[in-house]
Amino acid sequence: MFLPSAYFADVRRRLPAIIALTGHPGEPRNLMTRLDLPGRMARAIAAHQARPTVLVMMRPSVVLPRDTECVDVPGGPQAQTYFATDVRNAVTAHYRVAAGRESWGILGGSTGGYCALKIAMTHPGAFSAAVSLSGYYKTIVDRTTGDLFGHDRTLARRNDLMWRLANLPAPPVSVLVTSSRKGESDYLPTERFAAAVRPPMRAWSLILPSGGHNFNTWNRELPQALPWLARQLGP
């Protein structure tokens, strides 16, 4: 958890918040030691690139070692609801964080990026903006996930972000997606996703000439991506 100095300066003030997610399996401390999210946020606030914002730093995997892909698994972990409802309720109950959707954003890398987009698109009443760093757009199902959908094809489709864009009403959220023209397999899917977005949803993309699916690439993107997300949020 990162609380900016403004949190302590005015005890009547409620601040916006960002849930920041690692990849899978992920280690939450990497958000501090490898990506320096608290330092980046503090510097962006000091430079007036972002208003004071709380960071809630987590991993997307709620029942390790299983990878739940932020899915509400039938008869199993309700991972999506946990982040969209339980985490928000717990934070607003114990910290001076505003409860409205306009005050909440979500960010992640890799699996965390997929989760950030999906949660914001599925729960626009809870989040107004999201950032996906090298994320993907359809649930990965493999030996680490097991059966996430209980053979429910409708549930599987609803976790496919391209299917959602094509078949469901566009949610009123703003998203930023990132990739690299060389070195990342998600470049073309990212371009297709951004091109498929329709109002009231809005999409921006940050595409590097070259990069990889790694912390080095995300460190090059965060100086723009993190302040962008904070600027989307209102008090």
Digit-coded pLDDT (tens) for 164-186: 999 999 999 999 999 999 999 99
- Comparing 160 with 61, which gets the higher pLDDT? 160
Decide if 132 contacts 116 (C-beta within 8 A): yes
Q: Find the mean pLDDT for residues 181-209.
A: 97
Decide if 56 contacts 19 (C-beta within 8 A): yes
Q: How far apart are CA 230 and CA 203, in angstroms?
A: 15
Digit-coded pLDDT (tens) for 115-168: 999 999 999 999 999 999 999 999 999 999 999 999 899 999 999 999 999 999
Q: How far apart are CA 218 and CA 134, in angstroms?
A: 8
- Residue 25: pLDDT band (50, 70, 90) is confident
Cα separations (Å) of 20 from 9, 28, 87, 115, 164? 24, 9, 12, 10, 23
Q: Which two tokens stand for residue 51?
A: 């208003």
Digit-coded pLDDT (tens) for 89-105: 999 999 999 999 999 99
**Which domains does the chain possess?**
5-232 (3.40.50.1820)
pTM over 0.75? The answer is yes
DSSP 75: T
Digit-coded pLDDT (tens) for 206-222: 999 999 999 999 999 99
64 has a pLDDT exceeding 90: yes
